Structure 1
Amino acid sequence: MSQRQNVTLHDKWYSGHGFVWLLAPFALIFYFVSAIRRLLFKVGIKKAFKADVPVIVVGNISVGGNGKTPVVLALASYYQARGIKVGILSRGYGAKSQVYPRLVCGDDNADEVGDEPRLLAIRSQCDVVIDPVRARGAAYLTNELKCELIICDDGLQHYALHRDVEIVVMDDRKLGSGYLLPMGPLREGQWRLETVDALVHNSRSMPTFDSAVSPQFLMTLVPGEFTSVLNRMKTTTLEEIKALPCSAIAGIGAPQRFFNQLKGMGINVSHTYPLNDHHAISSSDIPDGRVLMTEKDAVKAAPFAHHDCWFLPVSAHMAPDFFNLINVKLANAGLTIHQNGQE
């Protein structure tokens, strides 16, 4: 089955096509197992590790990428600018490292450390640590690397790690069908949106919900300059990119979002190639001619790219009210917030 067919089947599952009812018994089992696990942590039978510094978790209640990485980068940049030593913690999805916890370097192989952690290390200039045992990774960031604030990329449902701030990121797909895994895309029910500290929407307009939710904020993804996949020091203008027809590839949670962004910029996108999220890019995935891709794909495509492969970096912008809310939560957790490096 082709990648394009896989995406179509995924979309049907995400939106609640009739065939998902075949999975209803398994969704019921998932519900009870998840509920029991949450209860064990709530009553203290299972213990959550509490780091010596505040922890922000940026996650979601649905599967698939929806814009968490730009939010993590925006938070890291904001608090670094205020003199706080920030550490980023990731499970390292797809990583094949032989050692954990592992400090990620920008020149690490994406196959070893994961695509998103490598991207975070390159863009943030923070200490980025991967560890499937997040408590161990958090302890390493605190005790060995002396970080003052930990931002956890994903892990909203990882209750074994205590958190002081919870942020959910959503895109236009919102809750999809509204069904729990594996019947639908939800890791937890919609009730969870009322218990987190903030919702960040990777959307053009504020969505509505049929029940109460936490404070909501819109995120705007601001594109940077097109950058060579082979040489990050080399950039080109939008006008130059628009001069030739382009192919576009995207291995993210919602590939069409990237394709629409390119077309909205006036780029002549002649062919699109949607890939599964975290797809391991090979030379066969990269067409001839001018190729555009996401930055997340670029960290995996570099060994196979040719001279006319370009990625589009994006940065998340949120209203000051968002950071003000997070500041209050962190202050309550004991973190002294400086303003642009000053008291």
Structure 2
Amino acid sequence: MSIKQWITRRWYGKPGLLRLLLPLELLYTACARRRRQRYAEHPERRYRSPLPVIIVGNISVGGTGKSPTVAWLVAHLREQGWQPGIASRGYGGRAESYPLLVESTTSPVQAGDEPVMLRALTGVPVAVAPQRAEAVRLLEAQGCSIIVTDDGLQHYALERDIELVVVDGERGLGNGHCLPVGPLREPAARLVDVDGVLINGTMRTGELPGAWSARLTPLHLRRLSDSARQPLSPLPFAGKVHGVAGIGHPERFFTALEALGIEVIRHPFGDHHQFTQQDLDFGDQLPIVMTAKDAVKCQPLLSDTRRASSWALDVALMPEAGFSDWLDGQLESLSGAGE
């Protein structure tokens, strides 16, 4: 077991020896609290966009389902007549200059994997910048009428109108401790201050009163060679497949594949993993199935023949009934406040 795996097990179980780091946790939480307080005391340091800004974030380290939530929000907002744009930090990207407007030809090396994926999924303007205010300003010039940020709950330099936190139902808030003893970026009490909490999946540990529930639903398999979509029944392959997941919670992806009746050889990688050809060389010709986020990075690394037997599993977020009405009520109150 690697050090990273051991720490993750402690984060989502009993902290064990990590309790020795409690003084560092106290220091971390004090710094986080003070940083938020400074921005609250000096609003002039925060950028206030003339457009409504929705933050989709989390309070824990690792994947919770933010990107599918952003994709759902964008689709819903468009149905309601908004022209949304997506702002992102572009984690893992190394652009020559920022802000960067993601185009159909932009690579994950430039913009990061999630912005490229969201641009392909939604078709709306996506802007990337380490300082999210720069990305928001760029989207303002693109004719957007509302901004959705992928992550950024702790980026207090950007003023926001709605804060939506996504929690992974299976892992919850882990052991309840902040970094480095636990996985939390901010204390759990921060959830009291946000506008809404969305639970991705069934909450297995504890409860979060007032939270909305949602689930990720597999839609289809998409072949990497030609983007052809294939139904989930019958499957376009038989027997074992190599499952590839470089996301915050790979086990959730593998479990979803197995629920579809797929026999999976698991290949977990770290979130935002920078894949190499060696990572995808499994010494056989079994099909490969990966997440949509990983597909944008892995597709260029595969030969034409291998792409024809490689697939991305596309999923969609399905919130519980009433969540969209709640969201529309939030947006309506913002519009009324601005009149």
TM-score (norm 2): 0.91
Matched, 1:247 2:248: no
Aligned residues: percent identity?
Answer: 35
Q: Which amino acid aligns with 1:186?
A: L
1:25 to partner: Cα distance: 2.2
Matched, 1:257 2:260: no
Q: Which amino acid aligns with 1:302?
A: Q
Q: Which residue of 1 aligns with 2:333?
A: 332
**Helix, strand or coil at the partner of 1:325:** helix
Structure 2: runs of 5 or more not aligned: none
Report the count of equivalent residues.
329
Measure the CA separation in 1 of the matches of 2:70 and 2:127: 14
Q: Which residue of 1 aligns with 2:113?
A: 115
**Helix, strand or coil at the partner of 1:220:** strand
Measure the CA separation in 2 of the matches of 1:84 and 1:14: 39
Q: Which amino acid aligns with 1:7?
A: Q
Structure 1: runs of 5 or more not aligned: 337-343
1:216 aligns with one of 211, 234, 242: 211
Measure the CA separation in 2 of the matches of 1:327 and 1:193: 21
Measure the CA separation in 2 of the matches of 1:29 and 1:268: 45
Measure the CA separation in 2 of the matches of 1:34 and 1:147: 32
1:273 aligns with one of 267, 277, 290: 267
Q: Give CA deviations for 1:84-120 in whole Å, capped at 9, x if unaligned.
A: 1100000111110011111112331111110000000
Q: Give CA deviations for 1:274-326 in whole Å, capped at 9, x if unaligned.
A: 11111111111212321111111111100123121111000111134111111
Alignment of 1:1-343 (within 5 A): 6-44=4-42, 47-142=45-140, 144-171=141-168, 172-204=170-202, 208-209=206-207, 215-233=210-228, 235=230, 237-241=232-236, 243-269=238-264, 271-286=265-280, 287=282, 288=284, 289-305=286-302, 306=306, 307-334=308-335
Contact 1:198 1:214 in 2 (8 A): no
**Helix, strand or coil at the partner of 1:225:** strand
Contact 1:195 1:214 in 2 (8 A): no
Measure the CA separation in 2 of the matches of 1:149 and 1:335: 15
Measure the CA separation in 1 of the matches of 2:312 and 2:65: 16
Q: Give CA deviations for 1:92-149 in whole Å, capped at 9, x if unaligned.
A: 111100111111123311111100000000001110000111112112211x112100
Deviates more, 1:255-264 or 1:45-54: 45-54
Q: Which amino acid aligns with 1:135?
A: A
Contact 2:59 2:186 in 1 (8 A): yes
Deviates more, 1:171-180 or 1:325-334: 325-334
Measure the CA separation in 1 of the matches of 2:107 and 2:180: 32
**Helix, strand or coil at the partner of 2:27:** helix
Measure the CA separation in 2 of the matches of 1:207 and 1:241: 37
Q: Which amino acid aligns with 1:134?
A: R
Deviates more, 1:237-246 or 1:178-187: 237-246
Q: Which amino acid aligns with 2:10?
A: K
Q: Which amino acid aligns with 2:279?
A: D
Measure the CA separation in 2 of the matches of 1:223 and 1:335: 37
Cα distance change on mapping 1:237 and 1:169 into 2, 3 Å: closer
Q: Which amino acid aligns with 1:280?
A: Q
Measure the CA separation in 2 of the matches of 1:232 and 1:335: 43
1:204 to partner: Cα distance: 3.1
Q: Give CA deviations for 1:189-218 in whole Å, capped at 9, x if unaligned.
A: 111111111111111358643xxx563111
**Helix, strand or coil at the partner of 1:215:** coil
1:45 to partner: Cα distance: 6.5
Cα distance change on mapping 1:6 and 1:238 into 2, 3 Å: farther
Contact 1:48 1:162 in 2 (8 A): yes
Contact 1:61 1:187 in 2 (8 A): yes
Measure the CA separation in 2 of the matches of 1:37 and 1:31: 10
Q: Which residue of 2 aligns with 1:340?
A: none
RMSD: 2.0
Measure the CA separation in 2 of the matches of 1:65 and 1:194: 21
1:237 to partner: Cα distance: 4.6
